[in-house]
Structure 1
Amino acid sequence: MEERARSCLLRSRSTLVKDIKASYLMDHMISDGVLSPDEEEVVLGKSNRKEQAAALLEVLLRKDNRAYISFYNALVRENYGDLAGILHNDLPLVSPEAEKSFADGCTSFLQMKLSEGGVPQRPVVFVKRPELLNQIQKKLYQLQNTSGWVTVYGMAGSGKSVMASEALRDHTLVSECFPDGVHWLSVGQLDRPDLLVKMQSLCFRLDQNQSGESCPRPPSTIEEAKERLRFLILRRYPRSLLILDDIWDSVVLRAFDIQCRVIITTRDKSLTDSVSGLRLDVPVDSGLEEEKALEILSLYTIGKVQKLPDQALSIVRECKGSPLVVSLIGALLREFPERWDYYLRQLQKKQFKRIRKSSSYDYEALDQAMDASIQVLQEDYKELYRDLTVLEKDVKIPAKVLSVLWNLEVEEVEDVLQEFVNKSLLFRDCNQRPYLYYLHDLHQTPLKCIAKPCCRQSRRLTRVRSI
C-alpha cells in the first residue's frame, strides 16, 4: 500500500474504529476479492463492534492499494460519506494489483474514474460474455451526445450488475463518452427516507470531488436532493454517467430524472416508461451457455473444466445455467468439495433453501432471491401469479389457457402476462403465434410456497387440465 494511503488509515484509525460496523463493509470487500473468508472470520471473532473494526483495520494495513480502494468504496456504499471523505484525498491513483482485477489494457485514467465513482471491482470468479458486453457498450455509446437511459434487465441472479460494471472497464468508452466520470449507486428496495439518504450520499460524493470547496449542507428533501444533483451533473459533470444498480420502483427513477446519462439494472424493464429522454434496453439471458457455466464451477473448484465430475454438467443443466445458482454452488463446493451429489439432489428436488451462502449479494439463498420479485406485485396480480403453479416444467402455453383459468378475456390475460414478463417473472416465446409463455425452473419453488390450495383453485385446475 502506498505510504500516503497507509498514513491516512493510521491517522484516521480512532475515528474509523469509533464509527464503522465491520460486518457491513466486509461483504463488499470479500466480493472485491481483497478480503478472504478466513480473515472475515477472524474479525467477526472479536467480542464487540469496536474490536471488530480495529481488527479489520489491522488486516487492511497489511494489504495493497486495491484493498484501500475497496474499503473506501464500501464506506461510500454503506453511507459512511463523512468517513469516505477522510480517505478520499489519499486514494491511490495507480495500483498494479488493482489493474490486474480490471480488463486488459486498463489505464491509470480509467482506474481513477472507476475507483472514484465507486464502481465494484470484478468478482474473483468471472467469465467473459462478449456478446452481452458489446450490446451494453453499444447502447452506452449512443449516450455520448445526449441524455438518456440504458436499461439492463433480467431475472434475479442473471449477472446484470456484473455486466454493467464490466462494460465500464473500457478506456475508450469512458474517455470519449464519460470523461467527467462514472458514478455508481447501489439502490435496492427502499422507502422515501432511505431514498433521500442514497441521494444525499451521491451529492456528498460529487461535492467531495470538487477540491478546495467546502461541502454544502445535505439536502433535506428528495425534491431538494434532485435539484442539487441536477446542478452538480449539468454544471460540473455534464459528460458523466450515473449507474443506478438494482432498481425496483419507478419513484426512484423519477427522483433521478435530471436530464443526464444513466444506466440502470433491474428485473423490471418497464420502469423507464415513467421518465423522459432516450430509452435503450439490453436484455440479459437468464442462463449461461454450458461451457461458460462449467468454467465458473471449475474456477471455484479444481481449476480445469476437463477435470470436473459428471455431476457438474447435470448441475448446470438442472439450473439452466443460472449464474447465481452456479456461483453459489461453486462457492459452497470450494468449502465442501465432496458435496457434488448433495447439491445436485437439492436442485433436482427444488430444495433451494438448502443452497445458501453468505455473500455480498442481497439474498443468501435462492428462494429468497426469487421470492423478492413476487412480493413486489400488487395483491390482485399476486393471486393470479399463484395460479401459475399449473404450468409444468418446460411446458409453454398460450394466453388462451390462462383465460380459462382466470375467467378473463384473452386480451386481458395478455396484459397481465406482459406485466409478469416485464418483471422477469415469466418468459415469452415470440417465435410462436400466438405467443407462448413459460416459467423458469427457479420460479416454480417460490411459486408453490406462496400458493394456497382451495376449492376455487382446485376447480380452476380441473377446468384447465380438461383443455
Structure 2
Amino acid sequence: MDTVKRMKIQHLREQIVQDVTIEHIIDYLISKDVVSEDEYELIKQEKTRKDRTRRLLDILPHKSLEAFDHFVKSLEDPYPWISSQLQSNGPQTYQMEERSYFDSLLLGGLPQPPPNNISRQEKMEDVRGCLSSLKRGHYVVLHGMTGTGKSCLAAAALDNKKTNNRTFQQVHWSTDRSKKETAKKRHNTGRPEATDDGDKLRNCSIEEKGYEGAVYWLSVGDVNTDDLLCHMTDLMEKLSHHPGVDLQCNCTNVRAARECLRRYFTTDSLRKGLLILDDVKSSEIMDAFDIGCKILVTTKDSEVMKTVEGRHELIQ
C-alpha cells in the first residue's frame, strides 16, 4: 500500500475505530485476500469492538496496493460516509502528497546539488523521458568521464516535484561498503561527503508509487565478490520490508542472491520498481543485477553494458 493511501487511513483512523464494526466487512476482506484466516483469528482475540478495528487498521498498511481499494469497497454499503472520504481526491489529498514528498526528501536525506552544480535542463529532461518509457529488464545508461556530473544528473532527474508527485515517496540511505570513511563522515555531518571526482551522491533509495514499488540507489564503485554480495543482501533486506512483500531469502553466493532479487521484483508491489546503479565499473555488476527490473546506470565505461547488449539506451 502506498504512502498516500496509508496516510488517508491514518487520517481517518479514529473515525473508523468509532464507527466500524469489523464483522460487517470481514467476509468481503477475507474473500479478496486482504485479511487471512490467521489474521482474523488474531483480530478476534481483541476484547472490544474498537480494539478489533484497531488491529485491522494495523494490518492493512502492510498489504498489497489493491488492499486499500478492497477496504474502501467493503465500506461502501455499511459505512458510505467513510468510504467516500477515503476515495476523496480533494485538497486534503494533495496536502498528503505534498507532505509525503517533502518528508521523503527530509527523512531520507536526498542530497541537494552542490553549490557549483550547473543544471543541464535539456539533458535532465532526456533522462526523465527515457525513464518514463523504460521497460522491465531494460536499462537507461548515463555515460561520461569521471567528474562530468553523471550522478548529479541522475539525482536531479529523480528529484523532480512534478514527476515525483506520481512516483517517489520515501528516501533511504544505505552504506557503500567500499567507502567506509565516506560513510563515517556522512554519519557525522548528515550529508554525503564529496569524493575526489566531485561525486557527492551516494546510496539513495526512493520508495515511490508511480512504479508501484521502490526505487533504490546503490553506489557500487570498485567491488569484489564479497562486497557485491553485501550490496545484494542489503537490497533484499530493504525490499523485504516493503508493504505487500512477504518473501525472505538467505543467500550465500551472488548467483543465489540474483535469483532471489528476481523473485522480489516479480511481486505485485515491486514489479514496476526501479533500481539505480551508480558508478558501475565492471560487467560483473551488470550480470549480478540483471534481475528483470527497470535499471538506471551511471558509468564511465560503456563496455560494462556488453552483457545486456540490445536492452539499454545510452545517454552521453
User: 1 or 2 for the larger relative contact order (CA 8 Å, sep ≥6)?
Assistant: 2
Tell me the TM-score normalised to structure 2 length: 0.50
Whose Rg is larger?
1
